[in-house]
Each structure stands twice: as C-alpha cells, then as structure tokens.
A = this chain, B = another copy of it.
C-alpha cells in the first residue's frame, strides 16, 4: 500500500487557510516527509502524523514555502526526545542552514545530510524494499523531484497446492523469489504452479516546482501516482513560464504523455481562492486527476 497525505499545497504566500507544500508518503511501512513549508509540524499535529515515525525528509529546493518549517520540526523532534537518526536529502546549501540553527539546540539524535547532485537522475535511497531517486527539474533555483519505487515484491506460497509436499521448506524462500523447484528425479515443479504473484510494486513521483518539461518523461513514465505542480490556470501560461511554474493543462498533458495511473495537482497560487477551475481544466486533458487537498490521504492499492 502507498499512502500520500497532503499537509499543504499552496504556493509561496499562505492564503485562504491553505498551507505551503508538505506531504507525508507512507511506503512499505516507512514514513517520509516531502518538503516542509512553514507550519508543517502544526499540520502534523492536526492530522495526527507521529513525528517520531518519520525516518527521511526530502527537500526539493530552497524557496521558503518548501522548507521554512524544517528547523521548527527538527527542534520539536529534539524536545520530544527523539533518539533515532534522521536522514535529510536536500539542496547542498541546506546543510549550512540546518547546522547554523541547530548547533545551539544540543540535538540528541543524529542528522545525516545528503546533498543532492546536479545530475539528471541519482539513486539516493536503496534499501531492501524501496528505492528513491532524485532528478533535476527546471525552476528558478536548483530544484529536484523525487521518484519513490517499491522493489519487486515476492510471490506468495499457494498452500492449497498438493505438489508443495515434494518441496522442502528450506526452498520456500527461493520459491517466493520465483524459482522453479527440480526434484531429485529431475522433474521440474513450475514456480507459478505453487505460488501466487505478489502485488505489483507501486511508484510515486513528486515533481516539485518546475516548468513544463518533457525530459521528465524519462523518469515518470508508467508510474502509478504523479504529483505535478499547477501554480496557475491555463490563462496565465505566459506568467507560469516567466516564473518557472506550470499550468493545469501542462501538468495534465505531461501526465497523459507519461501514461501515469493518477495525477495529483497542487502548489496553487495565492491569487486563486476557488480550486475547482484547476480540476476542471486538468481533467479536460487527463481525466484521472485529483486536487491535492490538505488533510486528505490518497491511497493506492494493487
């Protein structure tokens, strides 16, 4: 199961009780925080996200609406007695900002900072069950998106099959990994006769702030869930380009070309109070679109 909870999806200036960017991604029982605009820790309280469960934080770029809540969150984690290490992935300049402000706090937990590289794509997390890649997006300052992927999920043993009697228990792990079993007499028991396919691994890409950019298709094609910014409606396409942002129709076009399953749109400009026009414009191009609304959790199952 993949779950994505929106804590904020407004652009630069908070307005209409909408908060700046922050998202909680739940994947393989791990909690990740993506961006951390001002007030993120209060939003976590409101939506009952346990700060102690967050193991990794990903910061896309150094515009305030994407990271001004980080130091407050780290300080609260410390005051709440956190001991577990925390991994933060972000632009290189973020490191000195964290160090300057946290050095007086007598932090009780280790902060491992990983500076993102200016490369097309880079694997930054690679554990037994998931991998995370960072990729550059086209914005007015160095900016990264993140691609989260579950790894191949093992097949399950089908206990209803009588031919399992001929297979020793010690071989079950290899069965789960997809191997056939060959008996001593040379007979082959086909893997899919005694196992059931595991769920298909899920994937999510957060494209941060960006211009409309088809080179992103290299990273996001065929993924399950795509978050793409739509700072402006289509009528302000020119303004969007000047400010290195995207419109509804651009985001939806990219989602369509990438053949993603669902599109989430957000980073709404403070000049708009009503959000329905965003949904209307985006769905006119790509029907499987949702608004990234605060407090909602989008869940994907197999």
Count of interface residues, chain A, beta-carbon cutoff 8 Å = 28
User: Which residues on B sit within 8 Å (CB–CB) of A100?
Assistant: 96-97, 100
Max chain B C-beta neighbours (<10 A), residue from A17, A45, A68, A80: A68
Is A296 part of the contact surface with B, judged by Cβ < 8 Å?
Answer: no
- Across the interface, A75 reaches (CB within 8 A) one of B41, B42, B64, B104, namely B64
Q: B residues within 8 A CB of A72? A: 38, 64, 68
CA distance A69 to B45 in the complex (A): 17
Of A8-16, A131-139, A189-197, the one contacting chain B is: A8-16
What residues on B are CB-neighbors of A96 within 8 Å?
100
A90 on interface, CB distance cutoff 8 Å: no
Bound Cα distance A142, B69 (Å): 24
Of B42, B45, B101, the contact of A97 (CB 8 Å cutoff)? B101
Inter-chain CA distance A13–B44, complex, in Å, is 12
Chain B residues contacting A62 (CB-CB under 8 Å) are 104
Q: Of B13, B39, B101, B104, which is within 8 A of A38 by CB?
A: B39
Measured CB to CB, the closest approach of chain B to A41, in angstroms, equals: 6
| CB of A79 within 8 Å of the partner chain | yes
Partner of A17, one of B15, B41, B45, B69: B45
A residues within 8 Å of B by Cβ? 12-15, 17, 19, 38-39, 41-42, 45-46, 62, 64, 68-69, 71-72, 75-76, 79-80, 96-97, 100-101, 104, 141
A sample of 20 cross-chain residue pairs with beta-carbon separation below 8 angstroms, ordered by A number, consists of A12-B76, A13-B80, A14-B41, A14-B42, A14-B45, A17-B42, A17-B45, A19-B42, A38-B38, A38-B39, A38-B42, A38-B69, A38-B72, A39-B39, A62-B104, A64-B72, A64-B75, A68-B71, A97-B101, A104-B141
**A-B contacts besides A12-B75, A12-B79, A68-B72, 12 pairs, CB < 8 Å:** A14-B41, A15-B45, A17-B42, A17-B45, A17-B46, A38-B39, A38-B41, A38-B42, A64-B75, A68-B71, A68-B75, A104-B141
